[in-house]
Amino acid sequence: MSINEIVGALAPSLKILFNDSRRLKTGPMPSSASALLAKAIAETQGCTVVHVSDSMETLDTTHSDLTTLFPGEHDKHLYYPAADVNTPDASSGDADIFGLRTRVLSRLAEPPADQQKGIVLTTCVQALMQKTVSPKDIQKRQLVIEKGKDIPADELSSVLLDWSYDFTPKVSQKNEASVRGGIIDAWPPTETWPVRIELFGDTVDSIRSFNPETQVSISRLNKIVFSPASEFSQTISSNKSSLLAYLPPNTIILWSRYESTQDYAEMFEENCSESSVSESITAFNRMLSAIGRRKDLSQLFESTDIKHVPSSALPVFEHLARPIKREDLPHSNIEITHGRLSEGFQCHDLNITVVTESDFFSHRKIVDHSYYPDPSKDRPARKAGTRVYDFSSLEPGDLVVHNEYGLGKYRGLFEIVSNGRTQEVLTIEYANNAKLHVPVWHSNLLTRYVGSSGRSVRLHPLHGKKWAKAKERAEESIRDLAAALLETQAERNHLKGHAFKKDSQWQREFELSFPYVETPDQNSVIASVKEDMESTKPMDRLICGDAGYGKTEVAMRAAFKAVMENKQVAVLVPTTVLALQHFQTFSDRMSPFPVRVDMLSRFRSKGTQEKILSDLEEGKIDIIIGTHALLQQGISFKDLGLVIIDEEQRFGVAHKEHFKQLRKLVDVLTMTATPIPRTLYLSMTGARDISLLQSPPRERMSIRTIVSKSDDHIIREAILREISRGGQVFFLHNRVMTIEHTRQKLEEIVPEADIRIGHGQMPSSELAKVMEAFTAGEFNVLLSTTIIESGMDIPRANTILIDRADRFGIADLYQLRGRVGRSSRQAYAYLLTPPHGKLEFEARKRIDAVKKYSGLSAGFSLAIRDLEIRGAGNMLGSEQSGHIAAIGFNLYCQMLKREVARLKGETPPLIVDIQLAIDFLDFSANRLDPENAAALPYAYIEEEPVRIEIYRRFAELTDEEEIKHLETELQDRFGPIPAPVKRLLLLSDIRICAAQKGLTHIETQNGKLMMRAHDNYIKDNARFPVLKGTDADQKLSEILDIINSSRH
């Protein structure tokens, strides 16, 4: 029986139900069955059904099940989430959530009413209780822009400004807008991609969606609908209503898990009643009285009991790792549907049973949110934070390094007169107030300085010897380092190790039981690890990735692969808490398979430890997880095949020496959450096997960071909001002596919370019980010290409050904040400071930096430069860290990359460092000479950060393909390319060609072309070539032809 046939079979039973009630409820019915029931009611009754879940988590699961059961009907499946307004910074509510709510309200407000037949609207009780804009005002909150219609640029800008759009130089997030003459970029909260509107006069000439990362257009549109950036706009009547006001008269409301829904509603109502948003909700009891009485449907469905599945069908499910075809089925009454369903269900009245993969394995697949109308369509992943150093974000006062002159301080973008010509320059200040004016053409010679955060920095003298000596010492050290890295790589190439076989059937089934959808980076890293293991060369791979990005899953798949060939696996971790976390995770995932996992740490009694060591030697244990205790004398394995080292940098020197020996014997996989910048990663390509996990899980949200003075009301609101949505809370208090007093205070502030303590001075057995109980969700607030800094991976925990945040460094705050935000729920980090007095300047800087850089993958941003240097030091050694501090991180990476390429016999990247002195060109952007200008006109690109970015792009061009790509991007982003910018592109071609010919200087004087290679002039028959062109464009083309034909 197919899904549609089940819907038809339910029709007679459902028809009887609606004789006396259109308000229905269920008990703890499987989410998949609840979704099917809602759809069946909508189809058989020809009406709109509102399915009300008890929480956002259940809502997500139900909506995902609905789209899986009925694919291709996304226009009839509406998703209305709860707005996250109960926070101190409620105005910054998640733009995706607001966009989805607005989309649904607009759809429901559409006439005629018959369009709402067969609609299933999934929501949760919190969203149903929240007030929103009224139906009367919803149309006022829309602005339709159509191709060919007129709208002046200033009128559109004014509307977006009134609607709270944030105007920025470049649109990269929702609710942002940018105006560049006749081009308006904006990202409405209701749209999947940002849009670019290009005007011809006041007429809309084109509408294009574009990629926020590349800023390049994707597709053309005929119209776009704008809506405000926030739920309630100041310029529009704020008559508040609720979702109920939008529903057609014959709407059926289905309350899922009704008893649980009541409990969650009461918690939500209590939380809101004590906050500033109490007027923004409708009381639950008042809402129920308006809706009417409810009829119970709980008896229709129940969870699948695997014992009731026909035995003849079981062989089919033993091969879930491969696609199942009709010929695989033992008889005709079994239907196979491919998709992702949270769980199965059965209906005895219809004699049907729905069985899912999760009913056979111990995990239920956690699927992506189906937020968008059609989840099959591509959409941008959530924007990651800064991963590499964005030169365009330079601000006056930032430290920079010039390749030739060393460390200086950036002062800004200016115009100066040099040799009678005006040009734009980046001004750098050196010691004794000396100034260096760097032409924008040479901005590629500048890199942002990143060094040791705790080290005082002195500017170099402009013409002193200090910089030359520091750079020379660094170059010598880099040569030694590159040689050592490549020598180690060569030695490993000659070693013979165990070559594992291709994946087995069990391996595929194990990987299918992963409860999440793999990220692109995860898939790539897993493939690299397997390739290493299947090679005869011993694996030595380092995996770098932010907390929660999937390193542990990679490790578990490698471990399982080793165990499948009767090899033992050792997992080494630096702390007992992390050992316990890994032990629970590995044990849980391996439980359906005959794999024995055990743990060796202080959480085990002495007798237990002795038994573990004996079993390990006899080969009875497949995977052993432990701290440095695993490295003690007397431990032996029957057949060790793989060692996994987590956070190697936190082990001591002696332990690291032990690891070096291991790498010669067995496969070694090392993992670290300490960020390794991509610049360093690329510079070491070919010298060490490194994999980066930088793409966040698709529905992962950045952590909202809130800085506040410690206040009982704020603490209560934060904790109540989290537990009211079924979540858990970390409260960090890093003083063991006063932690009990803090618990008593918290119990007075939030008596509803179940609070327990965890710290490193507790007896091992007691600490283990607390950690296990919190992981299992047995209590909702863990009051702890920094023992949670690593190892705690609890998706339900999405709020952390850090007491006395001013006492922590940037790296510590970053790591602690990373304990939350490991699911698709919005996570919060509260940095609590003393209620009285002022913070020290340095403490305020650290806290502000952590708040500013809260995006995904923020571990690769400037705000945590000390972590990056620590990461570099971990990989390269303390001596190299000193050189990095001396010459700057980015320049160090450039030099290392070139040296590695040289030693490998490869051609180093082309350096385009050509001195230009073209006397017939005007490089001023202020007073453009249309016939001779070569600059970025302010009318074309006005914002200074964007100008710096584009000039830097010009300076970094190294081949014709890059020139063409930049030309296309400029036309797309800023409109038709004016003549001064076309000359910049032609000059780029000249510079690249000159660099390829080995030239260093290109100069023109009174119609003569003078080319130099260092101090040697290049002449034609002992004469300088004479330019015959009559205008600037002809002369530039002539220069390019002469250089191309030069035999130098």
Check residue 221 and give its pLDDT.
95
- Taking only the tens place, the pLDDT of each residue in 111-166 is 655 566 789 999 999 899 888 888 888 878 889 999 999 999 999 999 999 998 99
Q: Is 1016 exposed, middle or buried (0-12, 13-18, 19+ CB in 10 A)?
A: exposed
Q: Is 245 exposed, middle or buried (0-12, 13-18, 19+ CB in 10 A)?
A: middle
Confidence of residue 595 (pLDDT cuts 50, 70, 90): very high
Considering Cα of 158, then 160, then 165, then 167, what sign does the dihedral take? negative
Check residue 719 and give its pLDDT.
93
Q: Cα separation of 643 and 562, whole Å?
A: 10
Confidence of residue 790 (pLDDT cuts 50, 70, 90): low
Asked whether 849 and 808 are in contact (CB, 8 A), the reply is no
Nearest alpha-carbon partner for 889 in 872, 864, 909: 872
- Taking only the tens place, the pLDDT of each residue in 604-631 is 888 888 899 999 999 999 999 998 888 8
Check residue 1009 and give its pLDDT.
94
Considering Cα of 342, then 346, then 347, then 352, what sign does the dihedral take? positive
Nearest alpha-carbon partner for 94 in 519, 383, 379: 383
All domains of the chain, ordered by start, with CATH?
A: 3-138+240-299 (3.40.50.300), 143-226 (3.30.2060.10), 303-360 (no CATH), 497-693 (3.40.50.300), 704-854 (3.40.50.300), 915-1045 (3.90.1150.50)
Does residue 456 carry a pLDDT above 50? yes
Q: Cα separation of 686 and 314, whole Å?
A: 48
Q: Which has more confidence, 608 or 273?
A: 608
Average pLDDT, the chain: 81
- Taking only the tens place, the pLDDT of each residue in 964-1008 is 999 999 999 999 999 999 999 999 999 999 999 999 999 999 999
Check residue 152 and give its pLDDT.
93
Residue range 748-775: average pLDDT? 90
Confidence of residue 644 (pLDDT cuts 50, 70, 90): very high
* HEC string for 875-934: HHCHHHHHHHHHHCHHHHHHHHHHHHHHHCCCCCCCCCCCEEEECCCEECCCCCCCCCEC
What does residue 93 show for φ and ψ, rounded to 5 degrees?
-50, 155
Check residue 85 and give its pLDDT.
57
Both tokens of residue 576?
């007992």
Confidence of residue 239 (pLDDT cuts 50, 70, 90): low
CA 504 and chain centroid, separation: 32
Does residue 802 carry a pLDDT above 50? yes
Does residue 911 carry a pLDDT above 50? yes
Check residue 279 and give its pLDDT.
59
- Taking only the tens place, the pLDDT of each residue in 76-117 is 999 999 887 554 444 444 788 888 999 999 888 876 555 667
Q: Which has more confidence, 252 or 368?
A: 252
Q: Cα separation of 347 and 298, whole Å?
A: 11
Nearest alpha-carbon partner for 603 in 794, 817, 787, 796: 787
Whole-angstrom Cα Rg for the chain: 32
What kind and span of H or E run contains 996?
A: helix 979-996
pTM surpassing 0.75?
Answer: no
- Which are the contacts of 133, defined by CB distance < 8 A and separation ≥ 6? 105, 141, 231, 232, 236, 238, 239, 240, 241
Q: Cα separation of 251 and 263, whole Å?
A: 24
* HEC string for 736-767: HHHHHHHHHHHHHHCCCCCEEEECCCCCHHHH
What kind and span of H or E run contains 1013?
A: strand 1008-1013
Check residue 11 and give its pLDDT.
73
- Which are the contacts of 896, defined by CB distance < 8 A and separation ≥ 6? 478, 481, 482, 680, 683, 684
Confidence of residue 842 (pLDDT cuts 50, 70, 90): confident
Helix, strand, coil percent content, the chain, rounded in steps of 5: 40, 20, 40
Cβ atoms < 10 Å from Cβ of 748: 10
What is the maximum span of the chain, computed from C-alpha positions, in angstroms? 105
Asked whether 630 and 570 are in contact (CB, 8 A), the reply is yes
Place of tokens 């000390």: 866
Asked whether 252 and 48 are in contact (CB, 8 A), the reply is yes
Percent of the chain with pLDDT over 70: 80
What does residue 178 show for φ and ψ, rounded to 5 degrees?
-150, 135
Cα dist from 855 to 576, 772, 806, whole Å: 30, 30, 21
Residue range 702-728: average pLDDT? 88
- Taking only the tens place, the pLDDT of each residue in 384-412 is 333 334 455 677 888 888 988 999 999 99
Check residue 232 and give its pLDDT.
62
Does residue 521 carry a pLDDT above 70? yes
What kind and span of H or E run contains 56?
A: helix 56-69
Asked whether 210 and 185 are in contact (CB, 8 A), the reply is yes
Cis peptide before 538 (omega within 30 of 0): no
Most confident range (mean pLDDT) of 357-361, 376-380, 776-780, 928-932 is: 776-780
Check residue 771 and give its pLDDT.
87
Q: Which has more confidence, 999 or 651?
A: 999
Q: Which has more confidence, 206 or 328?
A: 206
Does residue 858 carry a pLDDT above 80? no
Does residue 322 carry a pLDDT above 60? no
Please tell me the least confidently modeled range out of 22-36, 217-231, 1021-1035. Answer: 22-36
Check residue 113 and give its pLDDT.
52
Check residue 320 and give its pLDDT.
47
Facing residues of 409 across strands?
399, 429
Instruction: Tell me the H-state helices in 109-188.
Output: 125-129, 135-138, 153-162
